[in-house]
Amino acid sequence: MARITLRQLLDHAAEEGYGVPAFNINNMEQILAIMQAARLTDAPVILQASRGARAYAGDAMITKMVEAVEAMYPEIPVCLHQDHGNSEATCFSAIQAGFTSVMMDGSLEADAATPASYDYNLSITGKVTEAAHAVGVSVEGELGCLGSLESGKGEKEDGHGFDGTLSRDQLLTDPDQAVDFVTRTKVDALAIAMGTSHGAYKFSRKPDGEILAMQVAQAINERLPELHLVMHGSSSVPQALQDLFNANGGAMPQTFGVPVEEIQRGIAYGVRKINIDTDCRLAMTGMVRKTAREQPEEFDLRKFLKPALEALRKLCVERYEQFGTAGQASKIRPLPLSEMAKRYDAAALDPCPAVSNAAA
Ligand SMILES: O=C(CO)COP(=O)(O)O
Ligand SMILES: O=C[C@H](O)COP(=O)(O)O
Ligand SMILES: [Zn+2]
Ligand SMILES: [Zn+2]
């Protein structure tokens, strides 16, 4: 049994100075690819399921598949995390199903479309955190709205996000507000808005500081040095994967993602969880397209999915190595939820702002 909480894992990542990719899961092949990569590199794992993934596969299927890989890969600590929870009910049902971490994304209202007020975000995130911590489960919050600084568009592509155009203020997390938010809600990790957005179409050119605001992570890290920051929309959309997709009948206009070296800079500024879904989708779909084009007579689904799984495994190995996650799994002994609950109850895991910078 190696299920770990997000908090314990990211505390370890902070101590050792590495980041952990959080890969989205929907099916068996994705889970196996991630776990095979983790074994090859001795990396701890975050598997995250969106509301869409839970609806697609069903909670029983998701949690039983995760139980299966815990038995198959007993040496790998696995955190099962709810991605972009939109309400208390979503977070609490994930906890009931066995998730060890939930994201309460109160930057948007429960419709996952309307930008929420700060008070709404504080209140709902605080409520979820109080209940989750009572049973030892970790909570990720979000402050600021994810979206493009080039277009002002929100995170609409995956069905989660605002339809209209957001102001630059809404698109960048305010570092002073982050101090207030984290100390009042006691979240374990904070997703920040800094110009990243979900999906393939993040930037129209290789991003610089104008459109990818790494300085936001740096400013929050100065004020809250122990806080674990989360970068959403962190697929790199590698040119090789765009080319694979397009060379095999795909139609993806030229696009740019978050360069791996920017994520590595982020890790130095306290980014500990790096959310990646688009790259995983693209790696697998590109290979499915390739098989379909090269072997039009093939109808054994496994012949499509095996090379797709291998392509995702390769991507995951690269990210585990690039983020410093490789070599860390064997150093971690997962604590039970009951032990985490005791530590929260004793206020041992409360946030602590850097006193000299808190008012800066
Ligand atoms: O942030 C994500 C999931 O929460 C995924 O981001 P990408 O679309 O960049 O992979
Ligand atoms: O949150 C972003 C992920 O890409 C999840 O996407 P999804 O809701 O289509 O599963
Ligand atoms: Zn959000
Ligand atoms: Zn996200």
Give the pLDDT confidence score for residue 155 in this predicted structure: 62
Q: Which of 277, 282, 315, 319 to mutate to test the pocket of ligand 1 (most atoms within 8 A of CB)?
A: 277
Q: Which residues of the chain have pLDDT under 50?
A: 158, 357-360
83 is catalytic: yes
Q: Which of 51, 156, 160 to mutate to test the pocket of ligand 2 (most atoms within 8 A of CB)?
A: 160
The reply to whether 12 sits in an annotated binding site is no
Measured from the Cα of 56, ligand 2's closest atom is 10
Give the pLDDT confidence score for residue 42 in this predicted structure: 98
- Give the distance (Å) from ligand 4 centre to CA of residue 299: 34
Give the pLDDT confidence score for residue 305 in this predicted structure: 98
Any idea how long the chain is? 360
- Give the distance (Å) from ligand 2 centre to CA of residue 215: 26
- Give the distance (Å) from ligand 1 centre to CA of residue 354: 30
Give the pLDDT confidence score for residue 354 in this predicted structure: 83
The reply to whether 24 sits in an annotated binding site is no
How far apart CA 117 and CA 112 sit, in angstroms, is 13
DSSP character string of 287-339: HHHHHHHH-TT---HHHHHHHHHHHHHHHHHHHHHHTT-TT-GGG--PPPHHH
Coil, strand or helix at 87:
coil
Give the pLDDT confidence score for residue 163 in this predicted structure: 72
User: 91-95, long-range: CB within 8 Å, 24+ apart, which pairs?
Assistant: 91/128, 91/132, 91/139, 92/128, 92/131, 93/59, 94/49, 94/54, 94/59, 95/132, 95/135, 95/137
Which domains are present in the chain? 6-339 (3.20.20.70)
List all residues whose CB is within 6 A of at least one atom of ligand 2.
24, 50, 52-53, 83-84, 158-160, 198, 277
Measured from the Cα of 197, ligand 1's closest atom is 9
Q: What's 227's DSSP letter?
A: P
- Give the distance (Å) from ligand 2 centre to CA of residue 96: 21
ipTM of the complex, rounded to two decimals: 0.96
Hey, what are 119's tokens? Answer: 């008070």
Please name which ligand lies nearest the alpha carbon of 25: 2
Give the pLDDT confidence score for residue 358 in this predicted structure: 45
Please name which ligand lies nearest the alpha carbon of 279: 1
Measured from the Cα of 24, ligand 1's closest atom is 3
Please name which ligand lies nearest the alpha carbon of 275: 1
Q: Which residues contact 42 (CB under 8 A, 6 or more apart)?
A: 326, 327, 328, 329, 330
Handedness of CA 315, 318, 324, 328 (dihedral sign): positive
Q: By alpha-carbon position, which residue is closest to atom 5 of ligand 2?
A: 50
What is the per-residue pLDDT across 182-193, written as a single tens digit (0 to 9) for each? 999 999 999 999
Catalytic entry in 11, 59, 83, 279: 83
Q: Which of 235, 271, 315, 319 to mutate to test the pocket of ligand 1 (most atoms within 8 A of CB)?
A: 235
Q: Are strands 138-143 and 271-276 parallel, antiparallel or unpaired?
A: unpaired
List all residues whose CB is within 6 A of at least one atom of ligand 1.
24, 83-84, 198-199, 232-235, 275-279
Give the pLDDT confidence score for residue 170 in this predicted structure: 86
- Give the distance (Å) from ligand 3 centre to CA of residue 339: 30
